[in-house]
Amino acid sequence: MISAIIFSALFIAGSAFFIVNARKIRRNILLGKSISIRDNRSERFKTMLLVAFGQKKMFSRPIPALLHLFIYAAFVITQIELLEIVFDGVSGHHRAFRESLGGFYTFMVSFIEILSVLAFVATIAFLTRRNILKLARLNKPELNGFPRFDANLILAMEFLLVCFIFMMNGADEVLYSRGESHAMNLGDGSLGFSVSKHLGPMIYGCMPTPGLHIIERIGWWGHIAMVFAFLNYLPFSKHLHILLAFPNTYFSNLKAKGSFKNLFEVTDVVKPNFDPEYQPKLDPNAPVKFGAKDVTDLTWKQLLDAYSCTECGRCTSSCPQNITGKKLSPRKIMMDTRDRLEEVGKNIDKNKGTFVDDGKSLLGDYITAEEIWACNTCNACVQECPVNIDPLAIIMDLRQQLVLEQSSAPAELNGMFSNLENNGAPWQFSPADRGNWIHEN
Amino acid sequence: MSDTLKVPTMAEMMANGETPEILFWVGCSGSFDDRAKKITKAIVRILNHVGIKFAVLGAEESCTGDPAKRAGNEFLFQMQAFQNISILNGYQVKKIVTGCPHCFNTLKNEYPELGGQYEVVHHTQLVQELINQGKLKVQGGEFKGKKIVYHDPCYLGRANDVYEAPREVIQKLDVALTEMKRSRANGLCCGAGGAQMFKEAEKGAKEVNVERAGEALEENPDVIAVGCPFCNTMMTDGVKHFNKEDKTKVLDVAELIATANDL
Ligand code: SF4
Ligand code: SF4
């Protein structure tokens, strides 16, 4: 009875805290400029299924993809077991579904156990790769501090979660075989779960019954506590991607990657020179700002991108400029965007719902012009991203800000601009000579 | 090799009451850069050889605005775009072939929304089409059996998913086509895109073109084939960096076809 009350309180508090934080993230994302993405629903849905659910793009690197799949599948499938845990927790039953579901129950739990073992192996592999083998893309400067701690913490939680599952099921298996389990005794002598029916007797076989009850409870409570801890940690972690990968891939750019957006703010100014009949596309009284200086100048989709980033660094490890030792790192672009957005969100929380200018901005305080100007606009980062994030779109918006609002392009580019303006070519050639090649030998 | 190229301009054609089948968009590099002009001429030789009725804009052509747009100067880009669109629409152009993936991308993807709608192909796609239609017969010639490695231009490959056309065309030459470690969608940029061609690189450990040329040279090729005049410049400089210019040539796919077949 007491445990049912404690459990219910934990359940309600855990869910409420998560909802509060999830709403904050939603609010932060909606601080972005509004754009409408309502086209091609079926193609979008398909993209989401393939890229987020099917993890299609992960498989360009098969080994980490497979290991990641183990953890992901274990995570998804374990949620089914959670139904029973919650029911048991609130009602004070133990393995309430076992009797009614029969063989299917044994199958499901066995399946979860096998995935848990695979996830355990994957977790150890990931910890090793990150901390001992020191894989380059997981050890770049932008991961120093919290991001590295974040990644290891989640892996540690996963590790513990699996330990708890096997404490719970393993101890229960031994108890059941002694007729001491709180699960309803069906007279079959074993719970019959694929892994714990072997592992349980091996580890706990010689332990006294009262001790086993304690271990079983530690496993049960540890398991559920871990799930709530995980859920509530998500909003602060890169692991938010397990939720946001779905909307983010649904809203991904379906156009050719080379097709950069045309600014209608500019069209409204330029086009009338060519077409006097032209009707402006945008409200002429609205304030115009070119490109993006701060996160609120980006669209909500770009902000969703930032919250969806897994910090995996696939983008950075394929970036020609980063590979050759330049400061630009597309992952850092995404991490900076999220960090700045969080800062803006906290500012709003502190000031009762309105943002009070803090004298900072994404461009300058987080991302430097040096990073922005290094980009080749090659789309390698966009291609690589397993959750269809577009770091290049943010880079372009920041470039537009630098050129159109701050007139601070590198001198050589200003030279290129004036050539283009005067000669219709980026070099100093006379436009009249454009056809000269025809007659040259 | 035929000495005289037939390159009518749009204005000349119109004056004669003729309409070309296709407009050849030469691009700034193809018009002004000495190395790239050779690529332009190779494309013309192919077009002359198959007898396609084509025209160029000549002095009426102007930069598509790609370098301005990628450098963040949207004003300049749109100025160029509207100017080009008014000329192209004035001539009622329907189909365009470009000698440069950047022109290709901009005309194909960014002009439509601004009022310029054309069917746009890259020259490697046109060559592939001509071969498939039986209009262009190709042999390996001097490249037969040679080892060729193809570098994907970002604005043809990733930006527009054109990976096969250039490869199919090269394979028609009876060569040993090999791939670099990073190729197709994983291809590494030559270092020119995003207006980097026009500025010094930021501080770092290495130039991008040296990284990429080094990767190509690992395959020990006779030819590094490219489909972009900017990649051509970058890869040529990269090969020189390794002092391999005697062994390994950097050639455009159009040049391979035109040279092998003595067009
Ligand atoms: S588009 Fe820019 S940031 Fe992305 S990989 Fe290429 S150079 Fe790096
Ligand atoms: S942007 Fe994409 S590829 Fe880059 S770190 Fe984030 S999730 Fe990984």
Task: Check CB contact under 8 Å for A404 and B75.
Answer: yes
DSSP per-residue letters across A215-259: HHHHHHHHHHHHHHHHHHHGGGSGGGHHHHHHHHHHT---S-TT-
Quote the distance between the C-alpha of residue A53 and its chain's center.
Answer: 13
Tell me, yes or no, whether B34 lies in a domain.
Answer: yes
* Residue B3 counted as domain residue: no
**B206 touches A: beta carbon within 8 Å:** yes
> Which DSSP category does A404 fall into?
I
Using alpha carbons, select from A79, A117, A98 the residue that is nearest to residue A196.
A117
CATH class, A264-430 region:
mainly alpha
pTM of the model: 0.96
A389, amino acid identity:
I
Residue pair A379/B159 in contact (Cβ under 8 Å)? The answer is: yes
Maximum C-alpha span of chain A:
99
Residues B203, A321: C-beta atoms closer than 8 Å = no
Residue at which a domain ends, from B128, B149, B169:
B128
Domains A2-30+61-241 and A264-430 share a fold: no
Q: Dihedrals φ, ψ of B120, to 5°?
A: -120, 130
**Cβ neighbours of residue B117 under 8 Å, at least 6 residues apart?**
B111
Domain-ending residue, one of B96, B128, B160: B128
Angle between helices B253-260 and B164-171 (to 10 degrees): 20
Contact A32, A298 (CB under 8 A): yes
Q: Pick the closest to residue A313 from A240, A376, A386, A371 (CA basis).
A: A386
Taking an 8 Å cut-off on Cβ atoms, the answer to whether A324 and B206 are in contact is yes
B158 and B111 part of one domain:
no
What range defines the domain where residue B40 resides?
10-128
* Ordered per-residue pLDDT tens for chain A, 441 residues: 788 899 899 899 999 999 999 999 999 999 999 999 999 999 999 999 999 999 999 998 899 999 999 998 888 888 788 888 889 988 888 999 998 998 999 999 999 999 999 999 999 999 999 999 999 999 999 999 999 999 999 999 999 999 999 999 999 999 999 999 999 999 899 999 999 999 999 999 999 999 999 999 999 999 999 989 999 999 999 999 999 999 999 999 999 999 999 999 999 999 999 999 999 989 888 888 999 999 999 999 999 999 999 999 999 999 999 999 999 999 999 999 999 999 999 999 999 999 999 999 999 999 999 999 999 999 999 999 999 999 999 999 999 999 999 999 999 999 999 999 999 999 999 999 999 999 987
Domain boundary among B100, B128, B156: B128
Q: Which residues of B are less than 8 Å from A260 in CB distance? A: 69-70, 109-110
A398 lines ligand 1 (CB under 6 A): no
On whether both B168 and B241 belong to a single domain, the answer is: yes
pLDDT tens for chain B, 263 residues long, are 556 899 999 999 999 999 999 999 999 999 999 999 999 999 999 999 999 999 999 999 999 999 999 999 999 999 999 999 999 999 999 999 999 999 999 999 999 999 999 999 999 999 999 999 999 999 999 999 999 999 999 999 999 999 999 999 999 999 999 999 999 999 999 999 999 999 999 999 999 999 999 999 999 999 999 999 999 999 999 999 999 999 999 999 999 999 999 99
Cβ atoms of residues A172 and A195 within 8 Å: no
Query: Any chain A CB within 8 A of the CB of B132?
Result: no
Total domain count, chain B: 2
B144 and B120 inside one domain:
no
For the purposes of burial, counting CB atoms within 10 Å of the CB of A439, is it exposed (0-12), middle (13-18) or buried (19 or more)?
Answer: exposed
pLDDT tens-digit series, residues B97-109? 999 999 999 999 9
- For the domain that residue B180 is a member of, what is the CATH number? 3.40.50
Spans of all domains in chain A: 2-30+61-241, 264-430
From chain A, pick out residues whose CB is under 8 angstroms from the CB of B35: none
Distance CA A167, CA A203 (A): 9
Query: Residues B58, A438: contact at Cβ < 8 Å?
Result: yes
Q: B119 and B152 in one domain?
A: no
Using most ligand atoms within 8 A of CB, pick from A304, A311, A317, A388 the residue to mutate for ligand 2: A311
Asked if residue B244 and residue B158 are part of one domain, the reply reads: yes
Q: How far is residue A47's CA from residue A50's CA, in Å, rounded to a whole number?
A: 5
- Sheet strands side by side (includes B95-98): B54-55, B22-25, B95-98, B119-122
The H-assigned helical ranges of A55-180 are: 62-91, 98-101, 103-131, 146-177
Say if strands B119-122 and B95-98 run parallel, antiparallel, or are unpaired: parallel
Instruction: Identify whether residues B75 and B119 lie together within a single domain.
Output: yes
CB atoms within 10 A of CB A319: 27
The CATH number assigned to the domain with range A2-30+61-241 reads 1.20.950
H/E stretch holding B252 reads strand B249-252
Q: Answer yes or no: do A260 and B110 touch at CB < 8 A.
A: yes
